[in-house]
Structure 1
């Protein structure tokens, strides 16, 4: 009887170990997004140029035919395009949506983009879909992108040729030419945008793009203190905007020249087999070290950006509306960096909400925005 119990225990241990090996080795690896339903993964050609005409023709055909039956996935008007073709577009605003396998989150973001104001400008929406480490894509996410019927502007779906992860999604999607004057905003798929996000972006780009100490523009209304990770930065609202040494990725619009120089510097560093140095006195270093122990440090591309912008004396410009209202809000979906613990209000919405109305006073931006350090203190 004792021997039988030992055998049972050994068998249980064996089964548990086998399960763990499957989870960590055989199952699709966590790439910074929520876990995939393996039934939703499908193969997709690396070079899909031969599919583009057929794909886009089928969509157009079914829209014209009025078919609203089982094939309603084809009612969208986003065309499948290659990375090379989309870079030939001339636009005023390029909205880059990066996604992997969160179809519901993607749909929520796209619907909010449809409700935004674009001032009759030339706008292009690009949905960049990453692959798993095995080269497959999420069928449900692709279907959601195909379903999206943009109400203004043009829309493209671009599938990466290989798995690129969060870093590749951020750094390999916006490639403006040296002559381009377009604006771009990069949005992860678990965000929602304010109807006025573009109105604000036009305003701050026009006002501050010429400043050498500005690297880009964040759309988020709430930020931690990056000296200790505590919430929140509280800047007097008499200051409509402020300059802060840490970028905000809850909707980020890089300044073209700064973005280009940063990526050139990073490519030079990494091509020599080096890693960007870590800055001191910043809570993100702690997060980075935790991820490095798990083997996921490559997901924090921001560490290189933090070092580069500090070295260059560059800052991110943040909005500063009443009650921490933002031009974006983060739903904190489950992923590598989040556990899905979004703080909600009584209506089940993100606690720190979106800017829902525009006061003409917002148009009056200061010539000299204040500087705020990572501890939240105003500095000279």
Structure 2
């Protein structure tokens, strides 16, 4: 059961089984047991066409980047080929110390061993900010491409890929479960409904996964078709001068304050207009498959406390 404090107007939050009533597809709840919350039934896929890529966005935080890469490299990828693309933003009006910092990051990235697939480094010539970092990181070239996007202050559980792969296999490739209404999965555990009063989300302890429309930047898996659809929708709405406002959402204030520095409001407006959903996890003891250390940087002026501990054991 999912409960939220009385809202004004909000995006939808549903237990996964509720999608059965929402969709024309024969849909079932994710078969995840309470004793083994990351186990999902098996459905075969073609390993020759399946193409997952990690998109890591970074700027000027070498320690954060190092921690993130180490956690990614410690994950279990089985025998899959998983590519790693690293996008390094540039300084504005770079000083000599800024350039030294960038060079230190480049040296570290160049020397970092990624043995699971191809490693590609994109080093920008100018500062573009998080909006361009996200939006320009991916244009899928096939329906079998999947992007897992992380910012550099994220740390992932060793189990994260096993969970995401099982999710893709069973809820993208399995025709009996597939629905166009799901655009991906987030490793973040959300806490609040982004209404004007920030009401807290209340979840039954037995519900390990649920549907929610909000986008998650703390480790987000993206499906190819909805992402391409969003990019085209974004272009059209920007060209018409439309703003990403939604009635009753605290995000309106964020946009008025930050403008185009915060891009996720556009995606939230898009998925709200389409009725699309994201998959979120709800593991015991508020554990998650990723944790954001919220290091000082573009999003936070100073270090913030981390929200969750990562899930490191199937029975944690």
Q: TM-score, normalised by structure 1?
A: 0.63
Choose between structure 1 and 2 for higher RCO, CA contacts under 8 A separated by at least 6 residues. 2
Q: Report if the CA contact (8 A) 2:71-2:157 is conserved.
A: yes
Q: Per residue, is there more helix in 1 or in 2?
A: 1
Range with bigger deviation, 124-133 or 189-198: 124-133
What is the distance in 2 between the residues matched to 1:232 and 1:264? 33
Q: Report if the CA contact (8 A) 1:215-1:314 is conserved.
A: yes
What is the distance in 2 between the residues matched to 1:111 and 1:277? 36
What is the distance in 1 between the residues matched to 2:240 and 2:60? 31
Measured on the aligned residues, the alpha-carbon RMSD in Å equals 2.3
1:90 is displaced (CA, Å) by: 7.1
Q: Report if the CA contact (8 A) 1:106-1:144 is conserved.
A: no
Range with bigger deviation, 204-213 or 190-199: 204-213
Q: Report if the CA contact (8 A) 1:95-1:123 is conserved.
A: yes
Task: Give runs of aligned pairs for residues 108-147 of structure 1, distance below 5 A.
Answer: 108-134=67-93, 138-147=102-111
Task: Give runs of aligned pairs for residues 1-380 of structure 1, distance below 5 A.
Answer: 92-134=51-93, 138-177=102-141, 179-209=142-172, 210-228=178-196, 230=198, 232-270=200-238, 272=239, 274-291=241-258, 297-343=259-305, 350-359=306-315
What is the distance in 2 between the residues matched to 1:352 and 1:284? 23
Shift in CA distance, 229/288, structure 1 to aligned 2, threshold 3 Å: farther
What is the distance in 2 between the residues matched to 1:167 and 1:287? 14
Shift in CA distance, 92/237, structure 1 to aligned 2, threshold 3 Å: farther
Shift in CA distance, 188/158, structure 1 to aligned 2, threshold 3 Å: same
How many residues of Structure 1 are paired with residues of Structure 2 in the alignment? 259
What is the distance in 2 between the residues matched to 1:290 and 1:230? 17
| Unaligned stretches of 5+ residues in structure 1 | 1-88, 292-296, 344-349, 363-380
Q: TM-score, normalised by structure 2?
A: 0.76
What is the distance in 1 between the residues matched to 2:139 and 2:124? 14
Q: Report if the CA contact (8 A) 1:107-1:148 is conserved.
A: no
| Unaligned stretches of 5+ residues in structure 2 | 1-47, 173-177
1:228 is displaced (CA, Å) by: 4.2
Deviation per residue, 1:8-51 (Å, 9 max, x gap): xxxxxxxxxxxxxxxxxxxxxxxxxxxxxxxxxxxxxxxxxxxx
What is the distance in 2 between the residues matched to 1:264 and 1:342? 35
Shift in CA distance, 229/166, structure 1 to aligned 2, threshold 3 Å: farther
1:215 is displaced (CA, Å) by: 1.8
1:262 is displaced (CA, Å) by: 0.4
1:351 is displaced (CA, Å) by: 5.0
Q: Report if the CA contact (8 A) 1:222-1:352 is conserved.
A: no
